[in-house]
Amino acid sequence: MLAHHDIAMKSLISAQPRTRLKDTVSSLNGRLLIVVGVANGAEARAFSSYLFAAGQAGTIPDFVGGFALFVSGYLTAAEHGLPDLGMILRGEIARQTDIVEQAAWLAAAENESAPLPIGVDIDTGYGNEASAVILTCRQVHKQGAQYVQIEDQYSINKSCGHLDGASGAGKQVIDAQEMIAMRLAPALAFAAGVDDLMVMARTDALASEGLDESLRRAHLYEQAGAGLVFVEAPENDDQLASVARELATTSALSVANVVEGSGKTPYKTPRELHEMGFDVALFPVGPLLAGHVARNAYYEKLGVSDDTRAIAGADQDSFDAFSRTVGRDQFTAWNRRFRFE
């Protein structure tokens, strides 16, 4: 009886081993890695399932070399109804990573594919000492992170990179050498002890210190060992091009961050970023913003007692489709197969 159930389990629960980000990076060969922020498990499952279908259909462009999911401080704060102004702590970001990892695994098990790798925004490390950074890396790695993003903002007044600091008076950054010694080096030390974690170093210096200083810091962080380097919020096309051109001279992957509608950085498509020379296109909040627009349109209909069916996709069997997305058929199949009668 046990052997019969073992065979059935293998046929029903058949996710492949997780895609290793390091393997994806090593096989990019000039192609683009696209990283997408997901605010919850439903978004993680939906994007994972979409990519599986797109891969089967052969619709993924040739210039794209891989995808990853992203757990961001902005999204995690928003899930709590909070702004990204330093309100989220280590426990929340680790829990959010666990939720996204589980959803990615479930989607992969349903599609008999490999779960997507996950990157995690750990802000300034959630503490003022190196031990805090190491503990944060340990906790998010344990939950499935394959890269961590750490930044050089001053921790007390930090905010989303496309906001203006916790008080609205502008972002502040710590000294580059302090960033390397107190934040980047501990993260790299932890990563050196495991075989599947990369470190992304982000500088927010452009807003307060200018482009030259932000590029100087990017070079320093790459020289210190960061595998991915990220200059936050270039303000125009010229600055964006300068970042791409300058980072192309380093051994690290260059990252461009696209926040639809923020106004801090010109919008670029993944193809445009690839053509500019970036290695990684990070779209950290787009799915959440798209959902926000749709929800507001729904509320406007409901608030005046109008018919909400069309905007909720009822003509497309939206309830049934969403239930499938979050695993209804998968779970009922498991429950039907493993019963005691």
Is there a domain that residue 303 lies in? no
Q: Which domain holds residue 147?
A: 2-288
Is there a domain that residue 166 lies in? yes
Is there a domain that residue 293 lies in? no
Place of tokens 């089967």: 56
Is there a domain that residue 335 lies in? no
Q: Exposed, middle or buried, 307 (CB in 10 Å: 0-12/13-18/19+)?
A: exposed
Is there a domain that residue 294 lies in? no
Is there a domain that residue 24 lies in? yes
Positive or negative CA dihedral for 139, 140, 145, 147?
negative
Tally of domains in the chain: 1
Is there a domain that residue 127 lies in? yes
**153/6: higher pLDDT:** 153
The pLDDT-based confidence of 158 (bands split at 50, 70, 90) is: confident
Q: What percent of the chain has pLDDT over 70?
A: 95
- CATH number of domain containing 232: 3.20.20.60
The mean pLDDT value for 39-54 works out to 97
Q: What tens digit of pLDDT does each residue of 204-228 get?
A: 999 999 999 999 999 999 999 999 9
The answer to whether the predicted template modeling score (pTM) of the entire model surpasses 0.85 is yes
DSSP 8-state class, residue 184: I
pLDDT of residue 229 exceeding 60: yes
**164/34: higher pLDDT:** 34
Q: Please give the angle made by the CA atoms of 319, 323 and 145, to the nearest 5 degrees.
A: 130
Is there a domain that residue 314 lies in? no
pLDDT of residue 187 exceeding 80: yes
Nearest CA to 142 out of 89, 213, 93 is that of: 93
